[in-house]
Amino acid sequence: MRNIAIFILAIVCVACTNKRICMENECIYGSHQTQFAFWSNAAEQMEVRLYNDAQTADFETIALSKDAQDFWRATVKADLAGKFYTVRSFQNGQWYAESPGIFAKATNVNGTRAAILDMQATNPEGWQNDQRPAMKDPTDIVIYETHVRDFTMSPNSGVDHKGKFLGLAERVDYLVDLGITHLQILPFFDYGSIDETTLANNKYNWGYDPVNYNVPEGGYSSDPYDPATRIREAKQMIMALHKAGIRVVMDVVYNHTYNAEGCALGRVVPQYFYRMNEDGTYANGSGCGNETASDHEMMRRFMIESVCYWAREYHIDGFRFDLMGIHDQETMRQIRAALDEIDPSILTYGEGWAAMAPAYPYEELAMKQWTYKMPRVGAFSDDIRNALIGSPFDHERGFASGNPAGVKDVMRGLIACPEWSGEPAQHISYITCHDNYCLRDRIEVSATNETEETRLRMNKLAQTAVLVSQGTSFLYGGEEVYRTKRGIDNSFQSPDSINIIPWENRDRYADLHDYYQAMIAIRRAHKGFRLGCAEAVKEHVEFLDADNEQVIIYRIKDLEGIDDAKSLIVILNGSEKAVEAEIPDAQYAVLAQDAKANVQGLDKIKADHVTVEPYSATILAEE
């Protein structure tokens, strides 16, 4: 009976129909009363400090009393809009320092006090009509990753609100023109490494140091001092992207916090939300000093409620989980189930690894190897990445830059590594992201003696493999305009000059940009490159004998009723010599050849063999 009772409780909590046990209801504002409710199973006393504004030291103390579910509650019968609060707890014979609580939804500058406001009043004009753009199949997706500053800070970005949510909203047309479907934005919840009171100093950080998980970052707001402004402007950005038909993926970092003892998770219920070593120190699978414990009931519930909150309140369309391998599989499955109740088309994927070994059994963790055990949760494919351009741990070349060692792994990546992915959409096909070298730099450090012309050919060849893979396509923003980070492979706090996308290259490297654009169009026009399920990939994909370890002939056949083409052939030549490839004798439209691509076709041929130029892809659609 006990097990049944727990099961029912879990169902109620995922659906969040019982508001009394929801973690997200720490502060429910109403014009006649505000209710407070903080969870702690360890506190002996808890209290709220109510402040009249964001700065003053004076406060009113409100004692909280514990209910049967370990929620500490109080109701204040007054209109508290515009006031601020913190919470603190007493246990182990001491009062722990105050914090805004773990589920603050609005804060002061730098997020030290939670703000009380009417969330309805933060909605921009037209928000009630905001809708997720249409999406048919997860493999139709082309994700473009960027950072608010990378995308807007260049003097050539053409935007007025540089470095801000509103600035990103100004450049949406560029993304529509490029053809992507999803924009993944580096952390934009409130993080700790940027002092929001000194924004004029223009410091840069990626933002992987969470402070308030459920509040937008103040540094991207036009006024970080006003609690409503950052919320309204984040919604304006999302609405602008939705209007343009682009979905928004949030980069979420539940695996660790900025620090363990100075943040709300560590202060409200000390140590509970973290994995601890036997000697009492914090486990450190994140490499950032701590790791959270998704396997603890209330940490799991916090993560579930947090993503659901962003999906409902901000209309977020997907979540990319940083170091997902630190979380346990069961948590990821429950997150998937909870988001399905809101909208099954919301994406979930993440990094199926950790920085160091987490303090939890490996076989239970959401590691890439176990992706198939978490249906509809994807993982980044370091298999296809390392095979195409080389591993981040050395400077070797990859298949696309002349090294045949990874040829088998490129082939596995093209069919979305079924041995771990389960379904193709769960395989995130990519070669670069914010981590490690950008593509230009990666090819420069490994193919140093080649000419720029050759390196550009390698660049296009590698990205072609990503965009014809049966997995979900992922591109690092700015690769299409040949961005460089000047050899810096970890630019998390490098200045804007390193991290900005150089928009002036849009013209200088127009040929590269147009190739990316054409390849995205080719992927989106041909269902054969995104068959959608593992069974169909098995049935329709074959590799023809290339008789050369630097050449792959990837053929998707029997496409009647699936694609306008009867079959598709992609020949990837990773060698420095032109090669002849034998193909089935037929009439073909040539979609890509000799580092050029066009969705309408470059040429038409009737042939049983084709010449593929050095470091290039030929793509044929049978007519």
Beta carbon nearer to Ca ion, 218 or 325: 218
C-alpha to C-alpha distance for 305 and 292, rounded to whole angstroms: 16
Nearest to 407 by CA among 274, 534, 509, 548: 548
Q: Specify the 3-state DSSP secondary structure of 218.
A: helix
Q: How many other C-beta atoms can be found within 10 angstroms of the C-beta atom of residue 486?
A: 12
Beta carbon nearer to Ca ion, 194 or 621: 194
**Least separation in angstroms between CB 230 and Ca ion:** 9
- Tell me which residue has its CB nearest to Ca ion: 190
Cβ 286 vs Cβ 312: under 8 Å: no
**Least separation in angstroms between CB 211 and Ca ion:** 6
Q: Which residues contact 361 (CB under 8 A, 6 or more apart)?
A: none
Q: Specify the 3-state DSSP secondary structure of 342.
A: helix
In the set 226, 295, 351, 622, the catalytic residue is 351
Can 351 be counted among the known catalytic residues? yes
Kind of pairing, strands 189-191 and 142-146? unpaired
List the Cα angle 72/77/82 in 5-degree steps.
90
Q: Binding segment for Ca ion among 3-11, 190-198, 234-242, 281-289 (CB under 5 A)?
A: 190-198
C-alpha to C-alpha distance for 49 and 58, rounded to whole angstroms: 9
| Contacting Ca ion within 415-454 (CB under 5 A) | none
C-alpha to C-alpha distance for 619 and 513, rounded to whole angstroms: 18
**Least separation in angstroms between CB 196 and Ca ion:** 5
- What interhelical angle do 297-313 and 329-342 show, nearest 10? 30
Whose tokens are 């072609």? That residue is 464
Beta carbon nearer to Ca ion, 218 or 227: 218
Beta carbon nearer to Ca ion, 190 or 233: 190
C-alpha to C-alpha distance for 97 and 47, rounded to whole angstroms: 11
Two tokens, residue 125:
């004009």
Question: What x/- string results for residues 198 through 227 when contact with Ca ion is judged by CB under 5 A?
Answer: --------------------x---------
Beta carbon nearer to Ca ion, 190 or 563: 190
Two tokens, residue 201:
């100093």
Kind of pairing, strands 472-476 and 427-429? parallel
Q: Specify the 3-state DSSP secondary structure of 566.
A: coil
C-alpha to C-alpha distance for 185 and 593, rounded to whole angstroms: 33
Residue 170 binds Ca ion (CB under 5 A)? no
C-alpha to C-alpha distance for 81 and 86, rounded to whole angstroms: 15
**Least separation in angstroms between CB 197 and Ca ion:** 10
Two tokens, residue 412:
């596995």
**Least separation in angstroms between CB 195 and Ca ion:** 8
**Least separation in angstroms between CB 207 and Ca ion:** 8
Q: With the C-alpha atoms ordered 424, 430, 434, 436, is the resulting torsion angle positive or negative?
A: positive
Can 419 be counted among the known catalytic residues? no
Q: Which residues contact 30 (CB under 8 A, 6 or more apart)?
A: none
Beta carbon nearer to Ca ion, 211 or 365: 211
**Least separation in angstroms between CB 482 and Ca ion:** 32
Tell me the site size for Ca ion, rule CB under 5 A: 2
Beta carbon nearer to Ca ion, 190 or 317: 190
**Least separation in angstroms between CB 214 and Ca ion:** 13
| Contacting Ca ion within 506-545 (CB under 5 A) | none
Two tokens, residue 273:
């939300």
In the set 26, 322, 479, 563, the catalytic residue is 322
Cβ 623 vs Cβ 565: under 8 Å: yes
* Interacting residue with Ca ion among 26, 47, 98, 190 (CB under 5 A): 190
Beta carbon nearer to Ca ion, 150 or 423: 150
Q: Specify the 3-state DSSP secondary structure of 468.
A: helix
Beta carbon nearer to Ca ion, 218 or 528: 218
Q: Which residues form the catalytic set?
A: 322, 351
Residues near Ca ion (CB under 5 A) are 190, 218
